[in-house]
Amino acid sequence: MLPGPIPREKECFISFQEPIDSYALPEKFTYPFKYTPHPLCLLAAEELQRHLKAQTEWEHNFGLEEGKTGAVIGKMFGVLLVRNAQKEVGYLAAFSGKLAGGYHHANFVPPVYDSLLPGSFLNTGLQELTRMNLEISALQQNTTAQDQDKIALLKDLRRQHSVTLQEKLFDQYLFLNQAGQEKSLRTIFRENTSHGPGAGAGDCALPKLLQFAFQNILEPLAMAEFWWGLSPKSASWKHGHFYPSCREKCAPVLAHMLAGLEMDDKPDMIDEALLVA
């Protein structure tokens, strides 16, 4: 099914299921790289986790149930406590990367850029890479000097095409901050690092959440991110635990997106009790 129109505020703004009048609102925004989740973010995460267990609109193998088919892929989810123009407090939800093979699902904010749209330059470019790979594979069945020269040329063209395609993709990711300033992913990394963005940069949960909030005039109040599912072999993430935003992919982006927001001081220690589901 083709993705529909980008959801607007009323379709992604989630009201709490229980009264929150007794909760004190955060005075400053969360420092995303080391934090204790605000009680309202904990409540939002609990509601989101109940939704993940109960929903039947899509299937994704988190590795938590026996009998599920497909590769086991745990996911980082995020919640963003927000206040709308009517002074109502609710939250937004997001997942990192794709979920169940797609970017668009009910109750979750959309991606900053949807690279899966049919007919997009990315799909066309990937088809060309596939054609080059097939041609190289066919030529490698032969051993003539002429074929080896052509293989070397094709590999160089493939590399150049891949780099150009990746750079064009990064330029489609345009991030806002509360002042309405917009910068591309490549510009952000060029201004803040000595290297370019890596694969997957721009698709993490918190940048998605902030982008949607700024696009829809929602005031960010606090955030939290938690891991859902089995951990990949290369990481130590635990199901249901809260984690800071990643520095490698997110720090440059968040430096731009959070500009002007008053944030909590960097805490010396996190309450480990809050990191257990």
Whole-model pTM: value is 0.84
Query: What is the pLDDT, as a whole number, of residue 274?
Result: 37
CA-wise closest residue to 49 among 264, 227, 273: 227
* pLDDT beyond 60 at 270: no
Contact 271, 35 (CB under 8 A): no
Q: DSSP per residue over 5-28, as a string?
A: SPP-HHHH-EE-SS--TTSPPPSS
pLDDT, one tens digit per residue, over 141-189 is 877 777 888 888 989 989 998 888 888 888 889 999 999 999 999 999 9
Contact 196, 173 (CB under 8 A): no
Q: What is the mean pLDDT of residues 187-209?
A: 87
Q: How far apart are CA 107 and CA 109, in angstroms?
A: 7
> Predicted confidence band at 123 (pLDDT cuts at 50, 70, 90)?
confident
Q: How far apart are CA 222 and CA 25, in angstroms?
A: 9
Q: Which of 83-97, 108-122, 255-269 has the lowest mean pLDDT?
A: 255-269
Arithmetic mean of pLDDT over the chain: 87
The residues spanned by each domain of the chain are: 9-112+175-275, 122-164
* pLDDT beyond 60 at 273: no
pLDDT, one tens digit per residue, over 61-78 is 999 988 788 888 999 999
pLDDT, one tens digit per residue, over 211-241 is 999 999 999 999 999 999 998 766 678 999 9
Query: What is the pLDDT, as a whole number, of residue 70?
Result: 81
